Amino acid sequence: MSQPIEQIVRRKLSDEVFDRLERMITSGELQPGDEMPSERVLMERFGVGRPAIREAMQSLANKGLVNISHGERAKVLKLTAKSIFQQVDLTAKIMLSQSTDSLEQLKSARIFFERGMAREAAQRASANDISDLRKIIERQRNSLGRAEEFINADMGFHTRIAQISGNPIYVAVSEAMLAWLKEYHTEMLIWTGKEKFTLAEHEEIVNRLEANDVDGSEMAILKHLERSSALYAK
């Protein structure tokens, strides 16, 4: 029995350069904040032309590993959970726009995630956390009738709850899901009076958090999200 043919695909020079540059970053040879070597230095080091260097550098920038500013050397970026999620922001929005199932799955994932965040916050919330949440609710109340401001405050409220955990990955996940859902937040929220329900539900969530009521906080946020979930539609 003959062996299947395994073709060797010749890689572009820029792909090889990208791998080398990435290794310089991941190995610690280059640290966050460091300038990348000049094009001329890299051309001599790797024995390639300027186009391969520039293409590889652009690939690094697209992946959030370096920042390229006109007239300056590219700089190595510090990777954070937030910057990683921002790299998939456009891809996620395209995926959601192409599939109703994906949108429903995101809504479901958000509810699952925020129930956990509510339980965590109820155990850890300080007086300052509660004060911040009440200020956000007041900001929402003062922005009634102004859709963009109201929705931004709404997103800020849920992200602030995630911040109580002290875990930046939770905060990044919260911000990412809210940003993706915002694309599908219909004007129903503003024009049918449902914003009043949102304010009342937010108040109840904060009351439960302040009382360190773990189960009550989870139930309050579940009730809120199951109702408001219908406001996100394609």
pLDDT of residue 187: 45
pLDDT of residue 51: 92
What is the model's pLDDT at position 219?
97
Rounded distance between C-alpha atoms, residue 227 and residue 222, angstroms = 9
Q: Residue 124: which residues within 8 A CB-CB, separation 6 or more?
A: 164, 165, 166
For 76, the enclosing helix (H) or strand (E) is strand 75-76
The single-letter DSSP state of residue 35 is B
Q: Model pTM?
A: 0.68
Tell me which DSSP letter residue 67 carries.
E
What's the pLDDT score for residue 125?
A: 97
pLDDT, one tens digit per residue, over 93-114 is 777 677 778 888 888 999 999 9
Q: What is the CB neighbour count within 10 angstroms for residue 26?
A: 10
Burial 65-95 (b: 16+ CB within 10 A, else e): bbeeeeeeebebbeeebeeebeeeeeebeee
Q: Which residues pair with 67 in a beta bridge?
A: 75
Q: What is the mean pLDDT of each run of 10 residues along the chain (234 residues)?
A: 63 87 89 90 92 91 83 81 69 72 86 96 97 96 86 92 94 88 59 76 96 97 84 55
According to the model, what pLDDT value does residue 188 have? 40
